[in-house]
Amino acid sequence: MNTSPFSARCTRLIERMGAGIAIIPTAAEQLRNRDSQRPYRADSYFYYLSGFGESEAVLVLIAGASPKRILFCRDKDADKEIWDGFRWGPDAAREAFGFDEAYSIKTLDAKLAELLADQPVLWFSLGHEAAWDARIAAALNAVRAQARAGKQAPAEIRDVRAPLDNMRLIKDASEIATMRRAAAISAGAHCRAMRTTQPGRFEYEIEAELLHEFRVHGCQSPAYTSIVAGGANACILHYVVNDQPLKDGDLLLIDAGGELDNYASDITRTFPVNGRFSGPQADIYNLVLAAQSAAIAAIKPGATFIDPHNAALKTLAQGMLDLKLLDGSLDGVIESETYKRFYMHRTGHWLGLDVHDAGPYKDGETWHSLQPGMVLTVEPGCYIRPADDVPAAFHNIGIRIEDDALVTAAGCDIISHAVPKTVADIEALMAEGKRG
């Protein structure tokens, strides 16, 4: 394993800390029921800095004159490894992952008191997990109990997530390579869904096609629960039941992405179950596609996070007026937010280790500016629930088109580009599926 991106990130965090000690635990294992665990996934911050995927592990970073990266992890255990598989153990983990020191997780509480003593600042994600808050408080009190021996506990506690969130906003080369691969696999899954969708199949059958494609190409899991929403279900933004039959004449909205080596992809496509868009479906579809094109054109260094949203919104609002979904003027619709009846979410979010990734959206009062290396989704939509004042031809049409954009020096690179999204290209791919 190439550990250099992880150690480089630790070095950058240590520089940003300036002084003190950072304690970054990984995620706890979670019980699904009785003896069955949920599939384990490391904490994103911990993984970002360590590359270490085992549970029961803690990373400690020391800043200052002699910086150090220290791992606490499970011991080797021949008996447990028969049941649950390989464990690195501290010695091999130190060697393989390039930590300066590594110790048994069993020694953590005793060692924490030593490590915290006389450090000016503790960097920790206070409030993230109550059990860890209590453990850290106990370690601080253990240092304070040694005051008469001249030991001092850190006078200041700062949130380690603040510098890390800023770092995670700009992806390095290794992150970009993983995200490109995750997006390519997910794009393939959406193509497979288009080729295999037919009237009479169930939403969960198409979900299974997606999951097959994610896993067969190496994604460890979906990045989030797949939304496979036929017909009116597409107007439920977080529809995940996926248990209904797909009907001839309906659209199918799929929002799904694979997670590869802990990095998410997040793609949405909407296409006709029978392979041909109706006139009203194509009207709304082409409006959302035009909004997405306007948003993508607004992604470039120096623009702000909100610019793509504003560009999409302007296109959508004008289209809603043209299609008689709304009355009034463009400025009036945007000012009064009447468009929210049909477009109630924002046009994107940061994407990375988390599907809604870490990183600030505002810098004080102003929206964060876009810089090369940032990755964001572009996902305008239009969701039309039946109502007396809405043209009947548009009832129950729900459409979203979502891609993943890497900001580049010249503008942006759509890393999820490999799924068709024009009406003609979608219909051509679906026809291919029917023939094949």
Binding residues (CB under 5 A) for Mg ion: these are 255, 266, 377, 402
- 349 catalytically annotated: yes
CB 162, CB 127: distance < 8 Å: no
Q: At what angle do helices 173-196 and 423-435 cross, to 10 degrees?
A: 60
- Using DSSP's 3-state secondary structure scheme, residue 31 falls into strand
Active-site entry in 217, 341, 349, 385: 349
DSSP letter for each residue of 214-249: HHHTT-SEESS--EEEEGGGGGSTT-----SBP-TT
Q: How far apart are CA 63 and CA 21, in angstroms?
A: 6
- 35 catalytically annotated: yes
Q: In the complex, what is the shortest distance from the CB of residue 349 to Mg ion, in angstroms, rounded to a whole number?
A: 6
Q: How far apart are CA 399 and CA 379, in angstroms?
A: 10
- 266 catalytically annotated: yes
Residue 119 or 262: which CB sits closer to Mg ion? 262
Residue 25 or 258: which CB sits closer to Mg ion? 258
- 389 catalytically annotated: no
Residue 61 or 256: which CB sits closer to Mg ion? 256
Q: Give the position of tokens 């296409």.
A: 271
CB 197, CB 378: distance < 8 Å: no
Facing residues of 271 across strands?
Answer: 252
Residue 142 or 235: which CB sits closer to Mg ion? 235
- Using DSSP's 3-state secondary structure scheme, residue 398 falls into strand
- 402 catalytically annotated: yes
Facing residues of 377 across strands?
Answer: 404
CA proximity to 314, closest of 284, 341, 287? 287
Active-site entry in 35, 79, 365, 388: 35
Active-site entry in 402, 403, 404, 427: 402
Q: In the complex, what is the shortest distance from the CB of residue 255 to Mg ion, in angstroms, rounded to a whole number?
A: 4
DSSP letter for each residue of 47-86: HHHH----SS-EEEEE-SSS-EEEEEEPPP-HHHHHHH--
45, amino acid identity:
Y
Q: In the complex, what is the shortest distance from the CB of residue 358 to Mg ion, in angstroms, rounded to a whole number?
A: 15
Half-sphere exposure of 42 (CA within 13 A, CB side): 25
- 356 catalytically annotated: yes
The CA-CA-CA angle for residues 351, 356, 359, to 5°, reads 75
Q: Give the position of tokens 């060692």.
A: 111
Phi-psi region of 302 (alpha: psi -120 to 50; beta: other; left: phi over 0): left
Residue 178 or 377: which CB sits closer to Mg ion? 377
Residue 132 or 224: which CB sits closer to Mg ion? 224
Q: In the complex, what is the shortest distance from the CB of residue 335 to Mg ion, in angstroms, rounded to a whole number?
A: 27
DSSP letter for each residue of 366-391: EEPBP-TT-EEEE--EEEE---TTS-
- 91 catalytically annotated: no
Residue 143: phi, psi to the nearest 5? -70, -45
Q: In the complex, what is the shortest distance from the CB of residue 400 to Mg ion, in angstroms, rounded to a whole number?
A: 8
Q: In the complex, what is the shortest distance from the CB of residue 269 to Mg ion, in angstroms, rounded to a whole number?
A: 10
Q: In the complex, what is the shortest distance from the CB of residue 409 to Mg ion, in angstroms, rounded to a whole number?
A: 25
Residue 261 or 402: which CB sits closer to Mg ion? 402
Active-site entry in 41, 307, 400, 403: 400
Q: How far apart are CA 261 and CA 41, in angstroms?
A: 10
Q: How far apart are CA 106 and CA 112, in angstroms?
A: 11
Residue 97 or 271: which CB sits closer to Mg ion? 271
- 128 catalytically annotated: no
Tokens of 316: 């959508």
Tokens of 131: 């059990």
Q: In the complex, what is the shortest distance from the CB of residue 424 to Mg ion, in angstroms, rounded to a whole number?
A: 24
- 190 catalytically annotated: no
- 345 catalytically annotated: yes
Active-site entry in 144, 217, 345, 385: 345
- 276 catalytically annotated: no
Annotated catalytic sites, by residue? 35, 238, 255, 266, 345, 349, 356, 379, 383, 400, 402
